[in-house]
């Protein structure tokens, strides 16, 4: 579905997209309606394969209505059978996050499907490159959901340099805190070929999110998110170190954030049940809406297509206004110095 690209980059060219934007494969939230809407709008729609519920994945894939979508998995929970069930659907890409991609990469390559690996550190990126990933996602700690400690602002250019030095054909997406055209434009300037967007598209009309959580996100500032392991303890999930999950701060994270052993213990059973009920009901105080610092930039719940258009249009306007401000380059003395040398150039942006 190649429409003319709104903001052409190597990512839009390679994947035939209109917008250099991928939907984060958010467990539970990125169902078929959202992934299909993103794909039809010209982004890369990735179904949230999450913890690997095969029936859920099959039903949601059908809900994408035949749109060309891919899927993302939480690697430490993935099985060969689940991966094969996805590969026979002909995904446009498979994304692996949170764990060693090496055991699964050969099957993905053999199917001719692009492999996207989400990385939180330079070591993760090296492992992803060893596994033959065609796309690396540099995920900073601002991100909603699971992640680690590196910030987007330094991780993206550091991984851009790593790729430029050794595997310049590998694409790079920035993730963590990107919710508008400013974040997209900044990511391209940091050396990314596009962005992977979670929280902003979690707050889309098609996302599988209870209305109460959406309302809490619209009301929240970016100050009120927190990283903890409390929601994982409440689900008795054994997430490996170093990953924690960023959610909105709530009475639940205040009470249990520092007491996850007690929450996992038999005496925590009632609290775990209360949390599960709050999650189902969309009660943001007793539950934990999964969202990142970008909530402070979210003021509405529009359709995904509108979010993608806004991202590209704002980024284009910002990038072209910079050029028109200084048509001949930054003059010496403006800002107190001569123009800086250009950054290392990649083959195409």
Ligand X SMILES: Cc1cc2nc3c(=O)[nH]c(=O)nc-3n(C[C@H](O)[C@H](O)[C@H](O)COP(=O)(O)O)c2cc1C
Give the binding site for ligand X (CB under 6 A). 24-27, 29, 48, 50, 72, 74, 97, 118, 139, 142-145, 175-178, 196-200, 202, 290-292, 294
**Nearer Cβ to ligand X, position 101 or 257?**
101
**Nearer Cβ to ligand X, position 42 or 147?**
147
85 to 82, 89, 129, 225, 311: CA distances (angstroms): 5, 7, 25, 35, 33
Note whether 129 and 107 are within 8 A (CB): no
Six-digit token pair at 216? 């809490």
Q: How far is the CB of 131 from ligand X (least distance, A)?
A: 16
Identify the CA nearest to 204 among candidates 120, 304, 106.
304
Q: How far is the CB of 125 from ligand X (least distance, A)?
A: 14
Three-class DSSP labels, 22-39:
EECCCCCCCCHHHHHHHH
**Nearer Cβ to ligand X, position 163 or 298?**
298
* Nearest residue to the partner ligand X, using Cβ: 198
Q: How far is the CB of 312 from ligand X (least distance, A)?
A: 16
Edge to edge, the sheet with strand 115-119 lists 21-23, 194-197, 171-175, 135-139, 115-119, 94-97, 70-74, 46-48
**Nearer Cβ to ligand X, position 164 or 237?**
237
**Nearer Cβ to ligand X, position 72 or 114?**
72
- Which residues does residue 194 pair with via DSSP β-bridges, in sequence order? 173
Residue 228 DSSP symbol: E
Q: How far is the CB of 25 from ligand X (least distance, A)?
A: 5
Q: How far is the CB of 173 from ligand X (least distance, A)?
A: 10
Query: How many CA atoms lie less than 13 Å away from 348 in the CB half-sphere?
Result: 10
């Amino acid at each position: 579905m190649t429409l003319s690209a709104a903001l052409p980059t190597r990512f839009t060219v390679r994947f035939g997209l209109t917008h250099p934007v991928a939907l984060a494969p958010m467990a539970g939230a990125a169902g078929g309606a959202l992934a299909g809407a993103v794909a039809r709008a010209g982004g890369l729609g990735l179904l949230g394969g999450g913890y690997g519920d095969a029936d859920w994945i099959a039903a949601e894939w059908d809900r994408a209505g035949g749109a060309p979508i891919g899927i993302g998995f939480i690697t430490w929970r993935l099985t060969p059978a689940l991966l094969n069930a996805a590969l026979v659907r002909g995904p446009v890409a498979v994304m692996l996050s949170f764990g060693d991609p090496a055991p699964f990469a050969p099957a993905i390559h053999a199917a001719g499907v692009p492999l996207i690996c989400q990385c939180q550190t330079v070591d993760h990126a090296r492992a992803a490159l060893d596994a033959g990933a065609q796309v690396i996602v540099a995920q900073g700690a601002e991100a909603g959901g699971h992640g680690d400690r590196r910030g987007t602002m330094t991780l993206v250019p550091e991984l851009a340099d790593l790729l430029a030095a050794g595997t310049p054909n590998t694409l790079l997406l920035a993730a963590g805190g990107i919710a508008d055209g400013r974040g997209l434009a900044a990511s391209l300037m940091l050396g990314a070929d596009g962005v992977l967007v979670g929280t902003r598209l979690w707050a889309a009309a098609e996302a599988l999110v209870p209305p109460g959580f959406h309302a809490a996100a619209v009301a929240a500032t970016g100050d009120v998110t927190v990283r903890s392991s409390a929601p994982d303890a409440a689900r008795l999930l054994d997430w490996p170190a170093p990953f924690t999950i960023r959610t909105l701060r709530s009475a639940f994270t205040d009470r249990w954030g520092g007491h996850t052993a007690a929450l996992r213990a038999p005496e925590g059973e009632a609290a775990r049940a209360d949390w599960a009920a709050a999650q189902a009901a969309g009660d943001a105080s007793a539950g934990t809406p999964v969202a990142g610092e970008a909530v402070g930039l979210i003021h509405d719940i529009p359709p995904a297509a509108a979010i993608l258009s806004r991202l590209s249009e704002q980024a284009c306007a910002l990038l072209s206004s910079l050029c028109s401000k200084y048509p001949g380059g930054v003059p010496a003395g403006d800002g107190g110095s001569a123009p800086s040398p250009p950054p290392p150039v990649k083959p195409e942006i």
